[in-house]
Chains A and B, each alone.
Chain A
Amino acid sequence: MDRAEVDTKIRELIEPFNKKGVELKDETTFQNDLEFDSLTVMDFVAEIEDEFDIIISMNQQAEIENYGQLVDAVHKLQAGA
């Protein structure tokens, strides 16, 4: 999958978690803009992991603050999987 395809897929997956319908840009942050709490993060990460058959460890999650960084990380991880 190229980056655009990964982006499209993640947009789909994030939909049910984006309760306020916040517009997704690369710089949209999970904590402040999307207001994800730790339980939401866990469920959302699990969805992505299952979809792309990858692991995003908590250590890697700590480096991901915004949407663009997530797409980059998943793109890289699934290419290596």
Chain B
Amino acid sequence: MSEGISQPDQPQPLEAHAGDKDLFSKFDDIIALREGLLSQGREDPFNLVMEKVLSPTRAICNGRETILLGTYNYMGMTFDPDVVEAGKQALADFGTGTTGSRVLNGTYQGHKECEEALREFYEMDHAMVFSTGYQANLGIISTIAGKGDYIILDIDSHASIWDGCAMGQAEVVPFKHNDIEAMEKRLKRIPEGAGKLVVLEGVYSMLGDIAPLKEMVAIAKKYGAMVLVDEAHSMGFIGENGRGVVEDAGVIDDVDFIIGTFSKSVGTVGGFCVSNHPKFEIMRLVCRPYVFTASLPPSVVATAATSIRKLMHGSNKRAHLWENSKNLHAGLRDLGFKLGTEEPQSAIIAVIMPDLEKGAHMWEALIRNGLYVNLARPPATPAGMTLLRCSLCAEHSEEEVGQILEIFEKSGKETGII
């Protein structure tokens, strides 16, 4: 699940009402909902403008200097001098864009180097770079699981996973979030001989909880299913070499595909799939979201490759990020906030709000007091919760985490939440 502002990740049909005039009538309910929120004179949580970005952890937002605690910039690579320099050099040497698909004129030296960096990072045989992580999921899932095949997936999956399932027209069988038994029951009932793909995420971004991958991957293999794990929110941070929850759980050699993004820890934009499957390279010819779109600009792949290589040696930063996550989690719990997980499991700490009204209030108090977090609200959230999602950065200092806790305390008291 993710940041769908007013829609769930799992696509839902919108119903138009009788007597409707045109194709936009089906959006009337959403328009009314949004106008209702705005008419209360609130600062619009979904219309924030970063006027200036000072560092991975600071920006000027709506005229105020603000601590950023909701950017997924986990490893703080966006202002790394080597990364910035690589981008500048590529801009100068290769120009602003490729103006072409990867399979025509859009594969430059930089795209090859970026895929090489990914193969080294994961110690895997194949790496394929897409224009976004969304397209990586869309492309790989829809291409490998087609009509008559079965996809077994967690109900809290990201929109890009759902959309990949729909595009490929496979039979889609969801199971209750992180429920090992529910997953096994469904795998067991799939007709003999049908193709099976299990799709999991390492870290689920709504609550910041991790999947029980050790058990789940073993069960998937027992039933002969292929396994794809989306490690968007763990790359660079979780696992000894930052390869994700699959590495931490010791199952990286048993998963068939890892999907990732450059838009979080890597600090730029783009997506990828790495795999050891011997026939993987054929994907470049048959995967439509790879073929029918322009490739990433040379500066982007240059920054990504440089950042990925630096993340290989990021163990100190990883350790500091864990410290931050533990400190924030303990601090918020001690202040009396209700959190999404008992213990910190990732760099995402979700603060559960009593309801949408109070959550919106609290979000506004935080931003006024100089702290940006993500407001996540139903229907994009599990069980209709309203969440303030905090994503930590390795560049947050210990003092900054202290300041963050002070702002939470002040805002929580102002709004009567604690």
Contacts and interface: CB of A to CB of B under 8 A. Distances in A.
Interface stretch (B172-180, B262-270, B283-291): B172-180
Interface in B255-305: none
A37 B190 CA distance: 26
A13 interface: no
Interface in A41-66: 42-43, 46, 49-50, 53-55, 57-60
Contacts of A39: 155, 382-384
B8 A57 contact: no
A50 to B, nearest CB: 7
B54 interface: no
B173 A54 contact: no
A37 B381 CA distance: 13
Given A42-B176, A50-B185, A55 B10 contact: no
A38 B378 CA distance: 12
Contacts, number: 41
A60 B189 CA distance: 15
- Interface centre among A37, A38, A58, by most chain B C-beta atoms within 10 angstroms, is A58
A42 B155 contact: yes
Nearest to B175: A46
B155 A49 contact: no
A38 B172 contact: no
Given A55-B190, A57-B150, A49 B185 contact: yes
B171 A59 contact: yes
B172 A57 contact: yes
A55 B173 contact: yes
B183 to A, nearest CB: 11
B182 interface: yes
A37 B8 CA distance: 11
Interface residues of B, number: 21
A37 B384 CA distance: 10
B222 interface: no
B189 A46 contact: no
A55 B172 contact: no
A81 B190 CA distance: 10
A55 B188 CA distance: 10
Interface in B1-41: 8, 10, 12
B182 A57 contact: no
A54 B189 contact: yes
B8 A38 contact: yes
A59 B10 CA distance: 13
Given A38-B10, A50-B185, A57 B176 contact: no
Contacts of A43: 176
A65 B26 CA distance: 19
Contact of A42 (B169, B174, B190, B379): B174
Given A53-B189, A54-B189, A55-B190, A38 B12 contact: yes
A50 B190 CA distance: 13
B182 to A, nearest CB: 7
A57 to B, nearest CB: 4
A81 B155 CA distance: 24
B52 interface: no
B333 interface: no
6 contacts: A42-B176, A43-B176, A54-B189, A55-B173, A57-B173, A59-B171
Interface of B: 8, 10, 12, 150, 155, 169, 171-176, 182, 185-186, 189-190, 379, 382-384
Given A39-B384, A58-B172, A81-B189, 10 more contacts: A37-B384, A39-B155, A39-B382, A42-B155, A42-B174, A46-B176, A57-B150, A57-B171, A58-B171, A59-B171
